[in-house]
Amino acid sequence: MDFAGVIQDIVWTISFLFYSGIMSPGMNAILGPTGSGKSSLLDILAARKAEAGLTGELLLDGAPQPPNFKCISGYVIQDDVVMGTLTVRENLQFSAALRLPRHIGRIEQNKRIDKVIKELGLTEVANSKVGTQLIRGVSGGERKRTNIGMELIINPTVLFLDEPTTGLDASTAHAVLLLLKRMSKQGKTIIFSIHQPRYSIFKLFDSLTLLANGRMIFQGPAFKALDYFATIGYNCEPYNNPADFFLDIINGDSTAVEASCLVDVNPIGCNLVVSKLAIMFSKSTYSSEMMAKLKQLSEAKKGSESFHRQIMYSTSFSHQLKWLTKRSFKNLLRSPQTSVAQILVSLSMGLVVGALSFGVKNDLNGIQNRVGALFFMTTNLCFSSLSAIELFVIEKKIFIHEYISGYYRIFAYFLSKLLVDLIPMRALPATVLATVTYFMIGLKQTVSAFLTLVLTLIQVSTTATSMALAISTGYNVVAVANLLVTLCFIFMVILSGLLVNLVSIVSWLSWLQYLSIPRYGLRALQINEFTGLKFCNNSHHIMTSVSYRCTGEQYLHSQGIDATAWGLWQNHVALILMMVIFLMISYAKLCFMKKFS
Using the predicted structure, report yes or no on whether residue 9 has a pLDDT greater than 80: no
Q: How many CB atoms lie within 10 A of CB 298?
A: 14
Per-residue confidence (pLDDT) for residue 267, from 0 to 100 = 37
Contact in structure between 218 and 228 (CB atoms under 8 Å): yes
Phi, psi dihedrals of residue 336, rounded to the nearest 5°: -60, -25
- Name the residue type at position 64: P
Dihedral of CA atoms 486, 492, 496, 500 in degrees, nearest 10, equals: 100
* pTM flag (> 0.75): yes
Per-residue confidence (pLDDT) for residue 65, from 0 to 100 = 76
Average pLDDT for 313-335 = 90
- What pLDDT digit, counting tens, does each position of 466-509 carry? 999 999 988 888 888 899 999 999 999 998 888 877 777 777 77
Per-residue confidence (pLDDT) for residue 360, from 0 to 100 = 85
User: What confidence tier does 299 reach under pLDDT thresholds 50, 70, 90?
Assistant: low
Phi, psi dihedrals of residue 327, rounded to the nearest 5°: -65, -45
Contact in structure between 215 and 17 (CB atoms under 8 Å): yes
Using the predicted structure, report yes or no on whether residue 371 has a pLDDT greater than 50: yes
- What pLDDT digit, counting tens, does each position of 559-578 carry? 878 888 788 899 999 999 99
**Is pLDDT larger for residue 104 or for residue 463?**
463
Contact in structure between 578 and 553 (CB atoms under 8 Å): no
Q: Which residues, other chains included, contact 493 with Cβ-Cβ below 8 Å and sequence gap of 6+?
A: 379, 382, 499, 516, 518
**Count helices and strands in the chain by DSSP H and E runs:** 25, 10
For the chain, which residues make up each domain, given as ranges?
10-72+157-300, 317-592
Beta bridge partners of 207: 28, 221
- What pLDDT digit, counting tens, does each position of 211-226 carry? 888 788 898 899 999 9
Using the predicted structure, report yes or no on whether residue 537 has a pLDDT greater than 50: yes
Per-residue confidence (pLDDT) for residue 594, from 0 to 100 = 58
**Is pLDDT larger for residue 335 or for residue 245?**
245
What is the DSSP annotation of 296-352? HHHHHTTTPPP-------SS-HHHHHHHHHHHHHHHHHT-TTTHHHHHHHHHHHHHH
Per-residue HEC secondary structure of 182-219 comes to: HHHCCCCEEEEEECCCCHHHHCCCCEEEEEECCEEEEE
Averaged confidence pLDDT in the chain = 82
User: What confidence tier does 595 reach under pLDDT thresholds 50, 70, 90?
Assistant: very low
Per-residue confidence (pLDDT) for residue 19, from 0 to 100 = 63
**Is pLDDT larger for residue 139 or for residue 300?**
139
**What is the fold, at CATH topology level, of the domain defined by 10-72+157-300?**
Rossmann fold (3.40.50)
What is the DSSP annotation of 103-155? TS-HHHHHHHHHHHHHHTT-GGGTTSB---SSS----HHHHHHHHHHHHHTT-
